[in-house]
Amino acid sequence: MQLLSDRILNMATSATLAMAAKARELRTEGKDIIGLSLGEPDFNTPDFIKEAAIQAIHDNYNSYSPVDGYVDLKEAIITKFKRDNKLTYKPSQIVVSTGAKQSLANIAAVMTNMGDEVILPCPYWVSYADLIKLNDGIPVEVKTTIATDFKMTPEQLEAAITPKTKMIWFSSPCNPSGSVYSKEELRALADVLLKYPNIYVVSDEIYEHINFVGSHASIAQFEDMYDRTITVNGVSKAFAMTGWRIGYIGAPEKIARACNKMQGQITSGANCIAQRAVITALNADPSTVKYMIDEFKVRRDLVLDLLSTIEGFKTNVPEGAFYVFPNISYYYGKTLRGKTINNASDFSMYLLEEALVATVDGESFGNPDCIRISYAASQEQIIEAIKRIKEAVS
Neighbours of 137 (CB within 10 A): 22
193/270 with CB nearer ligand GLU: 270
CB nearer to ligand GLU: give 175 or 221: 175
Residue 246, CB-side half-sphere exposure with 13 Å CA sphere: 28
Phi, psi for 51 (deg, rounded to 5): -60, -40
What 8-state DSSP symbol labels residue 374? E
Asked if 392 touches ligand GLU (CB under 6 A), the answer is no
Q: Using the rule CB under 6 A, is 22 a contact of ligand GLU?
A: no
Q: Which residue among 36, 38, 190, 210 contacts ligand GLU (CB under 6 A)?
A: 38
CB contact at 8 A, 259 and 110: yes
Taking CB under 6 A as the rule, does residue 39 contact ligand GLU? yes
Q: From the centroid of its chain, how far is CA 342? A: 27
Torsion of CA 57, 92, 233, 179, to 10 degrees: -170
Residue nearest to ligand PMP (CB): 99
Q: Which partner in ligand GLU, ligand PMP, none is near 38 (CB below 5 to 8 A by kind)?
A: ligand GLU
Indicate which single residue of 97, 175, 229, 327 sits in contact with ligand GLU (rule: CB under 6 A): 175
Residues binding ligand PMP (CB under 6 A): 39, 99-101, 125, 171, 175, 204, 206, 234, 236, 242, 247
Provide CB contacts within 8 A for 5, sequence distance 6+. none
Shorter beta-carbon distance to ligand GLU: residue 17 or 304: 17
C-alpha 321/C-alpha 297 separation (Å) is 9
DSSP state of 354: I
Residues 6+ apart with CB under 8 A from 32: 356
Taking the mean position of all CA atoms in its chain, how far away is CA 151? 15
Q: Pick the closer one to ligand GLU by CB: 105 or 111.
A: 105
Residue 140: CB partners within 8 Å, gap ≥ 6? 117, 118, 119, 120, 160, 162, 165
- C-beta closer to ligand PMP: residue 171 or 231: 171
Residue 14 in the binding site for ligand GLU (CB under 6 A)? yes
- Contacts of residue 64, defined as CB under 8 A and 6 or more positions apart, other chains included, come to 268, 269, 272
Residue 234 contacts which entry, ligand GLU, ligand PMP, none (Cβ below 5-8 A, type-dependent): ligand PMP
Q: Give the x/- contact pattern for ligand GLU in 127-166, rule: CB under 6 A.
A: x---------------------------------------
By C-beta, is 101 or 151 nearer to ligand GLU?
101
Helix pair 127-134, 100-111: axis angle to 10 deg: 40
Q: Describe the strand order of the beta sheet including 360-361 as a list of residue ranges.
A: 323-324, 371-374, 360-361
The residues in 95-134 that bind ligand GLU, with binding defined as CB under 6 A, are 101, 126-127
Give the interface segment with ligand GLU, choosing from 12-20, 192-200, 225-233, 276-284 (CB under 6 A): 12-20
Which range, of 35-43, 60-68, 112-120, 189-197, touches ligand GLU by CB under 6 A?
A: 35-43
Stretch that binds ligand GLU, among 11-19, 88-96, 276-284, 328-336 (CB under 6 A): 11-19
Are 297 and 318 in contact, with CB atoms under 8 Å apart?
A: no
CA–CA separation, 132 and 309 (whole Å): 39
* Shortest Cβ 32–ligand PMP spacing (Å): 26
Q: To the nearest 5 percent, what fractions of the chain are helix, strand and coil?
A: 45, 15, 40
Contact status: 42 vs ligand GLU (CB under 6 A) = no
Q: Which CB, 212 or 375, lies closer to ligand GLU?
A: 375
By CB under 6 A, residue 320 contacts ligand GLU: no
C-alpha 43/C-alpha 292 separation (Å) is 8
Looking at beta carbons only, is 100 or 386 nearer to ligand PMP? 100
Output the smallest distance, CB 384 to ligand GLU, in A.
20
Closest CB to ligand GLU among 17 and 134? 17
Binding interface with ligand GLU (CB under 6 A): 14, 16-17, 38-40, 101, 126-127, 175
